[in-house]
Structure 1
Amino acid sequence: MQKQLIKVHPSDNVIVALVDLNEGEKVTFEGTTITITKSVKAKHKIAAQDFEKGDRIVMYGVLVGKANTTIEKGEVLTTINVTHQSEKVFEKTGSISWVAPNVEKWKDKTFLGYHREDGQVGTENVWLFFPLVFCENRNIEILKEIFEKELLKHKVNKHQMLLRSLVNSGASADEETVSENVFENIDVKFITHQGGCGGIRQDSELLAKLLAGYVNNPNVAGATVLSLGCQNLQIEIFKQALQTINPNSKKPIIIYEQQKMGTVDEMLSAIIKDSFEAIKEANKIQRKPAPLSKLRVGLECGGSDGFSGISANPTLGHVSDLLAALGGTAILSEFPELCGVEQELVNRCVNEEKGEKFLALMKAFEKTVVDAGSGFDMNPSPGNIKDGLITDAMKSAGAAKKGGTSPVCDVLDYGEYVSTTGLNLLNTPGNDVESTTAMVGSGATLVLFTTGLGTPTGNPIAPIIKVSSNSELAQKMPDIIDIDTGAIIRGEKTIEEMGEEMLHFIIDVASGKTITKAKLLNQNDFIPWKRGVSL
């Protein structure tokens, strides 16, 4: 029989409903009887004791809120009777004593990746087209239409066939047309964005770092870059950003400046000819075995629910710990969703310098949010709240579980590229696509993305593996979910068992043996973080 309630941490004074419970129902938990005062949906939190106004609400072993009024034992916690509160953190107060998981059986395992001259290993082989400024988006879109039609597998999907049948007055159009890719070992992807000019210079410089990170990512074989000529993000700024990340990069990059090339027709003709030859050369690169230490995995959550911090996120945490023990790399981002767990994370930093950098970035980020008239407490979305995440600290405590328990080996600001193995903290917003975009720009070659409500996010160059926190979602949206961790909620599997299954899945995706649902949907989201104002 499935458990009805769970306490996540021994010191918690709230418990989580694993199933729907009715008003007046009596539930035995840890040797005592709890009477449910009002009907509560699964995923929501119940008071494990009586609370007076102002009392501390503790979950995951940390402060996640305070009582706004008296709350009876057995009463459901809501945004009405609980408000956000988190501990203030000023400095590193302790150190970590980490016991790494046993990875003996994983040490000799490999994945089939794309080896680059600088020693990095990619999970994909992509030729990337992108602009330095939004003025070139139209030309990127023209090139996208041309290259996708001629080089990539072209499939007329059922929705297009439906419209075709309507246009043809209801004539049958069930047949799908498919043609094979011209090249076997290379994908061609296209990025557009709204930056590069019109904002403060710092935004253009950050965008240059992000785009340079995409070029340097081992999933990219080379790039075609379009510049207008007069924009803030000059070609030299982009080249300098790439030089800073990788001074010895020999990756092929073809750059065009429209204001020096004459007509659009002349420029597009040159781009098509040059890029085709470069793509043909990149197609010669073959997958070869690589140790798991070469994996760099981003950790993301979006559309989270009340089970995310109990099933899916801790599973990612175990995978993160396995990778750290194997000499691989994991990246934990979304700084607004680390609010309330700063003390644990700063204490896990390998030295004082890393801890100070983390706290400085957190405080600077929060100040900009407050200066804008908001606060981290506004982070939970309506969907989060509806499914049991009622304060930012509560959401953060569950989100941080993605980072496991290993030491924090490095702390990166937005746009900085990973250079240290182990767990890295990366300063990004909580916005799913902005965060995922940033992690890939910092070198992630694959991203694990947990969701309790369902989100179709993908990325142009890195596989995004979608992980559901509950089986209902996996059954309702099977076209976007790759892995279902609902068995943890039902008590059928442990977090460790699920984590090992996930690592096997990662190896298959990294080797090109399994295609993610996001890639099958051709989901290629890319949103840079715009930190400044428009001028």
Structure 2
Amino acid sequence: MNKILKISEQDNVGVALCNLKPGEPLKVSGKEVEVSGPINIKHKIALQDFSAGDIIIMYGVPVGEVVLPIGCGDALTTENIKHRAADYKYEGTTYNYNSPDITSLKNKTFMGYHRKDGQVGTANYWLFIPLVFCQNRNLKVLKEAFETELGYKQENPYKLQLRQMLSGDSDAAASSEVINEQVFKNVDGIKFLAHEGGCGGTRDDAQALVNLLAGYIKNPNVAGATVLSLGCQHAQMSLLEEALSELNPQKPVLYFEQQQFSSENEMLQEIVSKTYPELEKANRIERKPAGLDKLNIGLECGGSDGFSGITANPLIGYIADKITAAGGRAMLSEFPELCGVEQDLIDRCETKEMADKFINLMETYNTEAQMVGSGFDMNPSPGNIKDGLITDAIKSAGAATKAGRAPISGILDYTEYPVKSGLHLLCTPGNDVESTTGLAGSGANLILFSTGLGTPTGNPVCPVIKISSNSELPNKMLDIIDFDAGKLISEEASLESLSGELIDLIIEIASGNKETCAHKLGQDDFIPWKRGVSL
């Protein structure tokens, strides 16, 4: 096994693939390098001598600037380098791209729910949506009723644990609560999108929330929705109706406004009586074969480590290239984690208008963050830094590999919905839940999520497949990882063979034959993004 990896020929640093000891001799690209001090796995080692002001290159792009002299064989740290990203501009260059061989995908299909607008869902959910936080209590009451009586409520093992502790009897009976059998076999779940918005913020916040909720109703994994409103809030029902008219989801949407009812009880009873028949209709929809061109995969990372950019993310990028080559869609989110690779993405945009839109979104976002004392350079978390991602540009260069190498077919602002196939860039923050929330709101019917440190993040309507960047994590956190991309290092598996295994898993999950770990844990994470301060 190699002990060090030089990602690109232009790079002047390498990645430690194992713990390196002082005095250990290494050979990289024909050059002898001696380790000068202990370097932890996943961290970066200098492949030359550096002086203050020199530029660190990884993935073939600038990722840092030297602030203290670094000797060949030394470790890169937050003390001796700082964030540095390359300048960028639209140059109108021709982008040459060799599409991957997708012969093996020609006859592959998944079993999905076909919608009237041509989309195909990997699941079939009914939504309960509040337009304002004032309806969250009503949402909670409805959640208890629908989940319990229709068989969607999961048994809580901690009730039994507490009962045994209270009684002092380890054989104490389990909860007397009866878990009903699922009534609607073709309705995968009823989801309740509680949130803290809709009023009290800016009108722009309310409009963004309404657009996001409209995107969730439009999502191919959704059969229809019940909408709850108070009546006087910023996020008016009329705004949602306007947003839906533009998206044209062609699904049943039921509206209830509390200030139009004489009592809360009257409204809740009417919600139950009118939603139940729609659930019966949704249950008549059955899974049917669909080609991989009907997949719209979100590309996400969270809890990243020093291996994310050399295993899980490139694997996801390879899958994205194959899915888009087959006629499907892929969406790369997390704009703060594209800092430093802008030029490559600009060069891949199909038109100048797309490139200009991307530049404007990036610069506006970064400027707003700087105005509140932050900026893209502050994106890496303590966990990222501890595991070798010590500048935002290092993190970004690895994160961007999730986009593969396909041309960019569209640039989407937050809550925008793609209108054609291919690779899209979607403006979201790097925050895991805010970003996955945005991906589902822009129509992702499945999300590929890489992680090196581990995170249980999920989504109410979209399966989230967790892909580990290292082979230790699946054994360490048994219940959150669906696929091990660390085999690219630990077993020296090929990208092609692992991509075949991952595509087979995607098809199984998209067909409803297998649950993701996040789904088993009940991770229905939903956080709308309030622009300006979240990275």
Judge same fold: TM > 0.5, yes or no.
yes
Aligned ranges 1:134-173 → 2 under 5 Å = 134-173=133-172
**2:339 corresponds to:** 339
Residues 113 and 287 in structure 1, CA contact (< 8 A), matched pair in contact too: yes
Q: Mean Cα displacement is larger for which, 249-258 or 92-101?
A: 92-101
1:130 CA drift (Å): 1.2
How many Å separate the matches in 1 of 2:246 and 2:391?
A: 40
**1:192 corresponds to:** 194
How many Å separate the matches in 2 of 1:127 and 1:153?
A: 12
List gaps (5 residues or longer) in structure 1: none
1:89 CA drift (Å): 1.2
1:516 aligns to 2:508 (yes or no) = no
1:37 CA drift (Å): 1.1
SS in 1 for 2:472: helix
SS in 2 for 1:471: coil
1:112 CA drift (Å): 0.3
**2:217 corresponds to:** 215
Q: Write out per-residue CA displacement over residues 124-165 of structure 1, whole angstroms, 9 at most, x where no aligned residue.
A: 000000100011011111111111111124443332210121
Q: Percent identity?
A: 52
How many Å separate the matches in 2 of 1:33 and 1:328?
A: 45
Counterpart AA for 1:218: P
How many Å separate the matches in 1 of 2:154 and 2:331?
A: 35
1:375 CA drift (Å): 1.1
How many Å separate the matches in 2 of 1:174 and 1:26?
A: 62
Residues 365 and 532 in structure 2, CA contact (< 8 A), matched pair in contact too: no
**1:473 corresponds to:** 473
Residues 452 and 469 in structure 2, CA contact (< 8 A), matched pair in contact too: yes
How many Å separate the matches in 2 of 1:356 and 1:32?
A: 42
Counterpart AA for 1:334: E
How many Å separate the matches in 2 of 1:344 and 1:27?
A: 31
How many Å separate the matches in 1 of 2:453 and 2:500?
A: 24
Aligned ranges 1:11-90 → 2 under 5 Å = 11-90=10-89
Residues 301 and 449 in structure 2, CA contact (< 8 A), matched pair in contact too: yes
Counterpart AA for 1:219: N
Aligned ranges 1:84-483 → 2 under 5 Å = 84-173=83-172, 178-186=179-187, 187-246=189-248, 249-483=249-483
How many Å separate the matches in 2 of 1:498 and 1:345?
A: 26
Counterpart AA for 2:128: F
Relative to the length of structure 2, the TM-score reads 0.97
**2:2 corresponds to:** 3
CA RMSD of aligned residues (A): 1.3
How many Å separate the matches in 2 of 1:421 and 1:496?
A: 23
How many Å separate the matches in 1 of 2:395 and 2:515?
A: 30
How many Å separate the matches in 2 of 1:385 and 1:232?
A: 40
1:167 CA drift (Å): 2.4
Q: Mean Cα displacement is larger for which, 187-196 or 497-506?
A: 497-506
1:28 CA drift (Å): 2.7
How many Å separate the matches in 2 of 1:88 and 1:432?
A: 27
1:491 CA drift (Å): 4.8
How many Å separate the matches in 2 of 1:356 and 1:173?
A: 66
Q: Write out per-residue CA displacement over residues 25-77 of structure 1, whole angstroms, 9 at most, x where no aligned residue.
A: 22233333221111011100000100011000000010000101110001000
**Number of residue pairs matched by the alignment:** 530
How many Å separate the matches in 2 of 1:506 and 1:92?
A: 37
Q: 1:92 to 1:435 in 2, by over 3 A?
A: farther
Relative to the length of structure 1, the TM-score reads 0.97
How many Å separate the matches in 2 of 1:162 and 1:404?
A: 47
How many Å separate the matches in 1 of 2:172 and 2:469?
A: 38
Residues 158 and 174 in structure 1, CA contact (< 8 A), matched pair in contact too: no
How many Å separate the matches in 2 of 1:324 and 1:278?
A: 34
List gaps (5 residues or longer) in structure 2: none
How many Å separate the matches in 2 of 1:92 and 1:232?
A: 43
